[in-house]
Amino acid sequence: MCGIIGYNGFRDANKVLIDCLKRLEYRGYDSAGIAVIGKNLKIFKEIGEISKLEKEIPDLKGNIGIGHTRWATHGSVTKENAHPQTSSDKKIAIIHNGIIENFKILREKLEKKGIKFRSQTDTEVIAHLISENYKDNLEDAVINALKKIKGSYAILAISKDEPNKIVGARKESPLVIGVGDNENFLASDIPALLKYTNRVKYLEDNEICILSKNDVKIYDQNKKEIKKEENIIKWDFKDAEKSGFPHFMLKEIYDQPDTIQKVFLGRVSEIQRNIEFPEKVETLLNNGIESIHIVACGTSYYSGLVGKYIIEKLTGIPVFVELSSEYRYFGTKNEKSLVIGVTQSGETADTLAALKEAKNSGCRTLVITNVIGSTATRISDAYILTQSGPEIGVAATKTFTSQILVLFLTALKISINQDNIGADELYKYILYLKELPRKVRQILEESDQILKIAKELKNSKSVFFIGRGINFPLSLEGALKLKEISYIHAEGFAAGELKHGPFALLTKTTPVVAILTKNSTYDKMIANIGEVKARGPKVIAVAEEDDTEIEKHADFVIRFPSNSSLLSCIPISVILQLLAYNVANLKNCSIDKPRNLAKSVTVE
Amino acid sequence: MKAVILAAGEGRRLRPYTETIPKVMIPIANKPILEYVIESVRKSGIDEIILVVGYKKEVIMEHFKDYKKAKISYVTQDKQLGTGHALLQAKNLLESSFIVLSGDNIIDQNSISKLIKDSSEYSMLIKENPNPSKYGVVFIEKGKLKKIIEKPKENLGKFISTGIYKFPKSIFKTLKDLAFEGIYDISSAIQYILKEENTINTILASSWADIIYPWDIIKLNENMIHSSSSISGTVEKGVTIKGNVTIGKNTTVYAGCYIVGPVIIGEGCEIGPNSCIFPSSTIGNNSVVHPFSQIRNSVIMNDVHIGSNSVIKNSIIGRGSIIRNNFSSVNGKAVIEVEGEFKKLENIGSMIGEDCDIGNNVIIDPGKIIGTKCKIAPLKRIIENIASKTKVI
Amino acid sequence: MKCVILAAGEGKRMHPLTFTRPKVMIPIANKAILEWNLINSIDAGIKEFIFVVGYRSEMVRNYFGNGKKWNVKIDYVNQVEALGTAHAISMAEKFVDKFIVMCGDTIFGKDDIKKILENEQSMGLYKVENPKEYGIVETKDERIIKIYEKMQNPFTDVINAGIYHFNKKIFDYIKKTEKSSRGEYEITDSINKKAESESIKGIYLKEWRDVVYPWHLLDANEEILSKQKEKINSDIEKNITIKGNVLIGKNTKLMNGTYIEGPVVIGNDCKIGPNCYIRPSTSIGNNCHIGNACEVKNSIILDNSNVPHQNYVGDSIIGQNCNLGAGSKVANLRLDKKNINVRINGKKIDTKRRKFGITLGDNVQTGINSVMNVGTIIGNDSYIGPGAIVSGEILPFTKLL
């Protein structure tokens, strides 16, 4: 969602704000702005990337300020709609991450009182409400203003008349306090602050914080002070550089031979033939599990769907995969259930809500995430890290394959605990796992074959992806990747479903990507391809290296090296990622920051 | 001052290893050669490096993506036409005098410091060497370069060029002019500059190493392996460690192993139980050596599996290869042909490329080179080189 | 007059001790290096301090707090990026007027600090026996001409001691300082710029001690202990022998058969004995247990560590929270009596000492009857199994079974 940052200290505020905003850019980037109090309260806003805003700011004196990078929810992308938003007298500036649900009514009321609105944002309402309630004390004005608001928010407010404080408030939108020496910070997430301090205090919902240069005070809604402990963050969240790759996404695709390895590091032993997780996870997976629920959003939902096939095949336990936003309303809850939340950032609001609900119902909760210290790791019983390093490109690539592999290891572990898998079979899987980095590297080296196919697809208006069994969720993911970054309409289907409707959409100009592995679904897939071809479209098959049959049926073939049928999903995913990347690249799309998308959706 | 490192070349004579990675990325003592060069450059005080990449450049960019100790920029040489042409790609990133080196020759930092501090406009590092090098033989008079002869057929002089130079920005005009005439190498540019009455100062380099053929990897590994020693990971009881041995993080050395340094074992490996690793061996990351195997004076790259009861001496095993049980790399004399030249070797084992699958009980005769992705069925005896992607059944 | 102390460095050559603490927090004679400087500065008359912190700043902040314990005011500024001494000093710009600056990891004496205080625009100098290791200073008639980088053939044995008296103008020179060949902003470069147009007085110090590698801590420990005054704060049972200068903390129990030869310092809440032998120049931290049949000589043992049963520890440094299993022993002398070599960060270094034992990081556990050879370095949180024989450099989090 949006990224927010506040600084009160001894350094030049504008430099610190811009530095931290750059680390937050992945959260939202259609516009950015800062407000700094020096002799006066000055505001700078620009549409486009933060580097554009940086160029506009002169040598600014002032040691207190707030900054924002925006992902539009209300109102189009314009300079007026960018934050910070101000009160009519321009004395109060605020920034906001979240959605005000009743903003229309509030806006009407304020307009009736004669207030002129300059933007279309819901945020501006808050600025005027604070100004209305302002009587020499900023925090009181903020508290009173927030009483009228329904919705989610993380707000930072500053006032020209009280140039020594920043007031922050949080409700269902992340806000973290960074404690420094003679300086303090507020930010949407920890990585933004880590360069300057590793001491944080977490704000919880409905809490207010007053940040001065030397002090941080936290209050509840009744202005009763709350004492909080400092947490020392031990990790070192280095900013990833593209290092010569033209896009983060490409670099992250190429990261996969390494990130796949990192999933097994310290967890898989070939000589001892076993899988070992940290104690909390081992305990969680050890006692009888009757059902497994995987909750996730977006690409993580698809890795959950792939995981379902793997877990059911290896353990026989029924697996339900649900969209997090739906789980909280319709999900089944049970003490013998293991609920696995899959979230790259650990902050996805919908998934967090689902996990909380699961926990409240007495379910066991396990989280698979890439970010240590994230909210998800704190609210679940145990967590397994994908250890992939930061993923900056908005379209998930390496975290997708790592998530599937963690689910695979989890399935193996449960299977071992159930006594369901023999030592030899386990050893076979371990060897397959260890071969994966090599196979992925091979695909990366032979990526020219994918570039050729991308040229075929780049002018299409619509592309279909089909697969059966474990390849069905891969077809969904392939379509999502293509959609996300090349803006070509794409849809994934279970191959058997085409004839029940979607066939009507097939024409000569809608290529179909068919995913085939040599297993029990192979013959049916060949038949499906025949049906598709009969209706005109070109068929691009993603097939195994030694599959000679497919050449007779498909127009183009992209090959991947064979592996265990349960693990072919990994090389296939890499092919689908490269396909989407190459198509988007040929179309000159903005790959790392696709229009209208944000990396981690923290609003619901 | 900035440094330009030429890292675009393929290194054809180092096949099969250069089929999937550029020459500069061949690992020596578990570090790519290029990393040694970059470290030497950085330690001599330079903090901005320009890498000219080309062949398989993603491998280089991937490896150095987290490198923070110096600023690295990349320029691409699309067609490998020559060293001068490679250097030309960096033109726009340089404002003043700079040094240029090749990414595939290991050089020490003192020599680079001497080159930087030298006051002449043009200077170069030279080395005493009985064998002529690809950069040419140089003739000196009073410390200044008199003549340079590129790739001579006979052994003419005592000194060779290391390919490491300090140039002023004006060199680019010379390179451009020569490129116009279809001349793309730096040595020719040097000749030209000499003709124009410019003095080129020569400085003797302290330590400089080059690899040309696959077996050079073993020798260079032996030379570079000695210095470091530190233990990490898990070492079970009953393991004997002697001499300088480095064991990486998350590696487990099982009971009964006997490791005599200098030996480097990478991260995430599993060694043993009861395996022996003798000097000067390097084992890359994520490799597994099954029980009762012996490794001596060999370079084992990343992701390699070595089956039980195998003997690997004076050999190279490429990345990702799987060697099954009871493998023997026979040692002895060999005569190897590479690109029309015949080389005699005294004591050499097997050189196996990347991603091979070698079945149980295979024996390979001395000096044989197995290409990438070869598959050899069990119980075979290999008496000649195997080309890449071949199946021996 | 404020005193700025640079406390941001990691001190990589002090590994493994500096994996878990900044260099200035390494205790010598039971006080952190930084604390010695604080105390000596307070004795010289300073009441306000600014610590420039960075690496593991929480360890400095948690120990020193706001300075109330010493009746002085301590403030902190975070350097954030390790960009050099000039950059570190520039962090203090908004908080000082005229001020003195000292490197927190070198111990300065109170008389010398006083002298620097009394001389505006001055810097400390010291004569050493090995000027090749340091930046040397060229002076003329007490004026600083230039500070030179380390050189192979130094023309003088006078080095830059690392303590300065500046006024606000230094910040202008720092802003004009360029990155050195090391890639850092060095205060020595700023001073050289200043020396071109202003007069800086060179003041020869009487006391100066810097520590680079772990074994230097033993030398510093010996020197500081030799100056301490005896004080026993605890109950002592009968049949205890104490010779020479021994400092014992509160609540420390000394049991029968304990034999202590000073100078030795023992912290609070320790359990010493019965029947143990503690020999000169040993510092034992708080809450330590030196048990039956143990001998400790010329060593530094940090807080919460145990040398509990039948151990020998000689010429060694043991980190915090370590536990030596029964019978664990340290070798501190080679059989051929040659100098002992140690590997730090993979590099082999001659300690130039005939006797040197082990250096343990924090949280190390050794199994019963384990044997540690001369010069062994064991990284924090490592585990040495029963009966294991250890030598060389062991990195943190290693299991040697």
pLDDT tens-digit profile, chain B (393 residues): 899 999 998 988 899 999 989 999 999 999 999 999 999 999 888 889 999 999 988 889 888 877 878 889 899 998 888 888 899 889 888 888 999 999 989 998 889 988 988 888 889 998 887 666 566 788 888 778 877 777 666 666 678 888 899 999 988 988 888 888 888 888 888 888 888 877 888 888 888 888 889 999 999 999 888 767 889 999 998 899 998 899 999 999 999 999 998 999 999 999 989 999 999 999 999 999 999 999 999 999 999 999 999 999 999 999 999 999 999 999 999 999 877 778 899 999 999 999 999 999 999 999 999 999 999 999 999 999 999 999 988
| Interface confidence (ipTM) of the complex | 0.80
Residue ending a domain, among C165, C181, C212, is: C212
Out of 3.40.50.10490, 3.40.50.300, 3.90.1170.50, 3.40.1390.30, the CATH code matching A241-444 is 3.40.50.10490
Calculate mean pLDDT across residues C12-32: 95
Check pLDDT > 90 for residue C258: yes
Is the Cβ of C12 closer than 8 Å to some Cβ of chain B? no
Query: Which residue among C78, C81, C94 places its CB closest to the CB of A181?
Result: C78
For domain A3-232, give the CATH number.
3.60.20.10
Best to test chain C binding among A7, A12, A16, A181 (most C CBs inside 10 Å) = A181
User: C58 to chain A: which residues are within 8 Å by CB?
Assistant: 198-199, 232
Q: What is the pLDDT of residue A596?
A: 54
Pair C197, C236 in one domain: no
C66 touches A at CB < 8 Å: no
Q: Which residue has the tokens 């022993």?
A: C329
Pair of tokens at residue A209: 């914080």
- What is d(CA C264, CA C248) in angstroms, rounded to the nearest whole number? 8
Is 80 exceeded by the pLDDT of residue A389? Answer: no
Asked if residues C246 and C272 have their Cβ atoms less than 8 Å apart, the reply is: no
**A364-369: strand order across its sheet:** A319-323, A291-296, A337-343, A364-369, A382-385
Nearest to B254 among A271, A441, A442 (CB): A271
Active site residues of C: 309
Average pLDDT, chain C: 93
Pinpoint the alpha helices (H) of C167-231: 170-176, 187-197, 214-226
Count of the separate structural domains present in chain C: 2
Chain A nearest-CA residue for C60: A181
Residue C217 lies in a domain: no
C198 touches chain A (CB under 8 A): no
Q: Strand (E) positions, C70-128?
A: 73-78, 99-103, 106-108, 122-127
What is the residue whose two structure tokens read 């043991």?
A: C318
Residue A337 has pLDDT above 90, yes or no: no
Tokens of residue C220, six digits: 């510093």
Domain boundary among C184, C212, C240: C212
* CA A158 to chain centroid: 30
Interchain pair C347, B233: CB under 8 A: no
Residue of C20, C59, C66, C80 to mutate when probing chain A, most A C-beta within 10 A: C80
Residue A281 one-letter amino acid: V
**CA nearest A238 in B: which residue?**
B66
**Count of CB contacts below 8 A, A vs C?**
24
A91 is catalytic: no
Asked if residue A476 has pLDDT above 60, the reply is: yes
Q: Which of A7, A11, A15, A182 to mutate to test the interface with C (most CBs of C within 10 A)?
A: A182
Do C232 and C160 share a structural domain? no
Beta bridge partners of B95: none
Cβ–Cβ below 8 Å for A434 and B286: yes
> Is there a contact between B68 and A271 if contact means CB atoms under 8 Å apart?
no
- Write out pLDDT tens, residues A568-602: 999 999 999 999 999 998 988 877 766 555 555 54
pLDDT of residue A62: 92
A604, A260 in Cβ contact below 8 A? Answer: no
Which chains form contacts with chain A, at 3 or more CB pairs under 8 Å?
B, C
Among chain A residues, the shortest Cα distance to B254 is held by A271
Cβ-based contacts of B245 with chain C (< 8 Å)? 392
Of C183, C385, C394, the CB nearest to B231: C394
**Partner residues linked to B382 by β-bridges:** B364
- A435 — phi, psi (to 5°)? -80, -20
Q: For residue C99, which phi and psi values (nearest 5 degrees)?
A: -155, 160
Q: Residue B47: which of C183, C348, C400 has the nearest Cβ?
A: C183
For chain B, give every domain's residue range. 2-212, 222-392
The CA R_g of chain A, rounded to the nearest whole Å, is 26
pLDDT digits 0-9 by tens, A429-467: 998 998 898 889 889 888 888 999 999 888 898 999 999
Cβ–Cβ < 8 Å for A152, A74: no
Lowest mean pLDDT, pick from A5-9, B17-21, C282-286: B17-21
- Whole-number Å distance between alpha carbons of B143 and C9: 44
Taking the C-alpha atoms of C274, C275, C279 and C284 in order, what is their torsion angle to the nearest 10 degrees? -20
Which of A241, A252, A430 to mutate to probe the B interface, most B CBs <10 Å? A241
DSSP string, A452-474: HHHHHHTT-SEEEEEE-TTHHHH
Amino acid at A343: T
C15 and C149: one domain?
A: yes
Does A20 participate in catalysis according to the annotation? Answer: no
Interchain proximity B230–C347, CB inside 8 Å: no
Q: How far apart are CA B283 and CA B300, in angstroms?
A: 5
Q: What is the CATH number of domain A446-591?
A: 3.40.50.10490
Q: State the nearest Cα–Cα gap between A191 and chain B, in angstroms.
A: 17
| The CATH number of the domain covering residues in B222-392 | 2.160.10.10
C115-119: long-range pairs with CB below 8 Å, 24+: C115/C203, C115/C205, C116/C163, C116/C164, C116/C165, C116/C203, C117/C1, C117/C44, C117/C45, C117/C46, C117/C165, C119/C165, C119/C201, C119/C203
State the pTM of this model.
Answer: 0.80
Rounded to 5 degrees, φ, ψ at C68 are -60, -35
C-alpha to C-alpha distance for C198 and C105, rounded to whole angstroms: 28
A102-106, A169-173, A377-381, A597-601: lowest mean pLDDT where?
A597-601
Helix-, strand-, coil-residue percentages of chain B, each rounded to 5 = 20, 35, 45
Residue C219 lies in a domain: no
Residues of B in contact with C395 (CB under 8 A): 230-232, 249
Of B231, B233, B236, the CB nearest to C392: B231
Average pLDDT over chain A, rounded to an integer: 87
d(CA B183, CA C117): 68
Spell out the residues 6+ positions from residue A406 whose beta carbon is closer than 8 angstroms to its own. A263, A368, A384, A386
Report the neighbours of C using a cutoff of 3 or more CB pairs below 8 angstroms.
A, B
pLDDT exceeds 60 at position A122: yes
Cβ-nearest to B58 among A238, A254, A442: A254
Q: Which residues of C touch B47 (CB under 8 A)?
A: 179, 183
Domain of C336: which CATH number?
2.160.10.10
The pLDDT score that the predictor gives to residue B202 is 87
What is the model's pLDDT at position A604?
40
B104 vs B18: CA distance, rounded Å: 12
Q: Which of C179, C395, C401 sits opposite B232 (nearest CB)?
A: C395
Q: Which CATH superfamily, name and number, covers B2-212?
A: Spore Coat Polysaccharide Biosynthesis Protein SpsA; Chain A (3.90.550.10)
A134/A269 Cα distance (integer angstroms): 64
The verdict on a CB contact (< 8 Å) between A438 and B303 is yes
Q: Which of residues B267 and A251 earns the better pLDDT score?
A: B267
Higher pLDDT, C299 or A347: C299
- The answer to whether the Cβ–Cβ distance between B290 and A241 falls below 8 Å is no
Per-residue CA distances from B279 to A207, A301, B122, B276, B299 (Å): 63, 50, 42, 10, 11
Q: What is the dihedral of CA B239, B244, B248, B252, to 10 degrees?
A: -10
Q: Does C389 touch chain A (CB under 8 A)?
A: no
Range of the domain at C37: 2-212
The CATH 3.40.50.10490 domain(s) of chain A lie at 241-444, 446-591
Question: B37 near B106, Cβ under 8 Å?
Answer: yes
CA distance B374 to chain C (A): 38
- C179/B47 Cβ within 8 A: yes
pLDDT of residue A239: 40
CA distance A239 to chain B (A): 9
Residue C208 within a domain: yes
Q: Are C395 and B236 an interchain contact pair (Cβ–Cβ within 8 Å)?
A: no
